[in-house]
Amino acid sequence: MTAPQTIAETDRFTVVIVGGGAAGISVAARLRKARPSLSIALIEPATTHAYQPGWTLVGAGVMPMRQTLRQEGGLIPSDVTWIRGAVETFQPDENAITLVDGRRIGYRRLVVCPGLQLDWDKIEGLRETLGKNGVCSNYSRDTAEYTWTCIQSLRGGVALFTQPPMPIKCAGAPQKILYLASDYWRKQGTLDRTQVEFNLAGDVLFGVGHFVPALQKMIDFYGAHVHYKENLIAVDGTTKTATFSVVGPDGTTSNVTRTFDMLHVVPPQSAPDFIKNSPLSNTGGWVDVDPATLRHVRYDTIFGLGDAAGTTNAKTAAAVRAQAPVVVENLLASLDGKPVEGHYDGYGACPLTVSYGRVVLAEFLYGGKVAPSFPYDQRKPSRFAWMLKTKVFPSVYWNMMLTGRDVAIPHKVLDAEKAG
Ligand SMILES: Cc1cc2nc3c(=O)[nH]c(=O)nc-3n(C[C@H](O)[C@H](O)[C@H](O)COP(=O)(O)OP(=O)(O)OC[C@H]3O[C@@H](n4cnc5c(N)ncnc54)[C@H](O)[C@@H]3O)c2cc1C
């Protein structure tokens, strides 16, 4: 158990890590193992750490919320100084950062991984009604359990599932819960009187074409309706109406209001404001790192990974698993004055829960190259992958990733013909 420490204004560490989520803890643990003598500080305001991939299962009644939460202090490796606070600004030319409370901390190397920001307020009326009136979201620790309440209490009617513009974390999560809810209603015998709709801002069901036919098959199986180019902009919980901005075939935009009995919302997402407003950001607001080395493109002393990174991989914990060793290797090389040679290939994974008991395990690299880890056609809904999602991955996360152990599950690029 690591206790938060009081830091003097001028404190300086060899490595400072911003954010103690999946990425920050993984990097801290690996650095501590690789070089026990390093002075490392981790800056994280929250006292509870969440295994967010579990929230899809919480929303579907498969995993209790408490199983996705642990005390942050119990995860930070011993001898890593926990600075319980939030970073506000970066002074990269001085190798320093400043916290919201005014403390200034210096570093020789900085790792930036504060995750992404959920922009709930971009949807008018959502804050007032989220968590009641049938409006739920698996994207919040406060409302994922309410998703399960909504699913169980719906006895027919209209169920809307939304997906905002990309990038978002775990791009498959908006539809995972649609499948699980539909499967539950099918088993209850109420699916035939439930109109299930997937309203998504994009124009494809899933970003990697290889998996789309398998997912479309599940959409058809449950009789769901997909509405492309529909972006949720307002919710009124009392009248149970949701308004979408819709791009028509001629490119013009109009608003459409739909009524619902249940609404599962995935909020718009962006880089955290303090990153957007910093010299570290790229034009999209994300941490401007080289996609292979994960080193900042302008500041040699800075590395970035996880959801905040301005890379085109799927923003997932699976990506973090592949990124953390690269960041650690390159950071240590740079400290030693050696070239940075570790390369991240863009690996990310999305276990799509297409029913209770079966998962389509999408694994891919930069450019949507399909890269399975297991020797079967991963487009096929599989019980094995369900077991991975519900049992193996949580255990790998807590017991291997966050403790800095290697997870030797190599993926292999599928040749273009098979992937086609
Ligand atoms: C519903 C849902 C389902 C998902 N399903 C999957 C899945 O099936 N598979 C998968 O691989 N991934 C999944 N993910 C995505 C996965 O959880 C994230 O990609 C992963 O947690 C990213 O790790 P991170 O460390 O970048 O960000 P996070 O884990 O979000 O951690 C960021 C940390 O930074 C801290 N922070 C924020 N601001 C500051 C600041 N100013 N100063 C200091 N610290 C700060 C935060 O408090 C937080 O602890 C899912 C996510 C959700 C929400």
* Report field, pTM of the whole predicted structure over 0.85: yes
Q: Using only the alpha carbons of the chain, give its radius of gyration.
A: 22
pLDDT given for residue 10 in this prediction: 58
Half-sphere exposure of 91 (CA within 13 A, CB side): 11
Place 11 in a pLDDT band, splitting at 50, 70 and 90: confident
Model confidence at 8: pLDDT above 70: no
Atom of ligand 1 nearest to the CA of 22: 25
Question: Which of 42, 170, 286, 389 gets mutated to test ligand 1 (max ligand atoms within 8 A of its CB)?
Answer: 170
Asked whether 387 lines ligand 1 (CB < 6 A), one says no
Structure tokens at 177: 């819960």
* pLDDT-above-90 percentage for the chain: 94
Say which DSSP state 348 is in.
E
Q: Which of 345, 350, 363 is nearest to 171 (CA)?
A: 350
pLDDT digits (tens, 9 = 90+) for 328-361: 999 999 999 999 999 999 999 999 999 999 999 9
- C-alpha 109 to ligand 1 mean position (Å): 22
pLDDT digits (tens, 9 = 90+) for 142-153: 999 999 999 999
Which residue minimizes the CA distance to atom 38 of ligand 1?
Answer: 114
Which residue minimizes the CA distance to atom 30 of ligand 1?
Answer: 115
Instruction: List phi, psi (to 5°) of 146.
Output: -65, -25
Atom of ligand 1 nearest to the CA of 305: 26
Place 6 in a pLDDT band, splitting at 50, 70 and 90: low
Question: Which of 137, 307, 327, 409 gets mutated to test ligand 1 (max ligand atoms within 8 A of its CB)?
Answer: 307
pLDDT digits (tens, 9 = 90+) for 178-219: 999 999 999 999 999 999 999 999 999 999 999 999 999 999
CB-based contact 233:123 (threshold 8 Å):
yes
**Helix, strand or coil, per DSSP, at residue 83:** strand
Asked whether 173 lines ligand 1 (CB < 6 A), one says yes
The residues that are catalytic are 170, 350
Q: Which of 177, 180, 93 is nearest to 137 (CA)?
A: 177
Q: Which of 324, 360, 356 is nearest to 342 (CA)?
A: 324
pLDDT digits (tens, 9 = 90+) for 85-128: 999 999 999 999 999 999 999 999 999 999 999 999 999 999 99
Pairwise CA distance, residues 217 & 232, whole Å: 25
- C-alpha 307 to ligand 1 mean position (Å): 7
Region label for 404, one of left (φ > 0), alpha (ψ between -120 and 50) or beta (otherwise): left
Structure tokens at 213: 């036919």
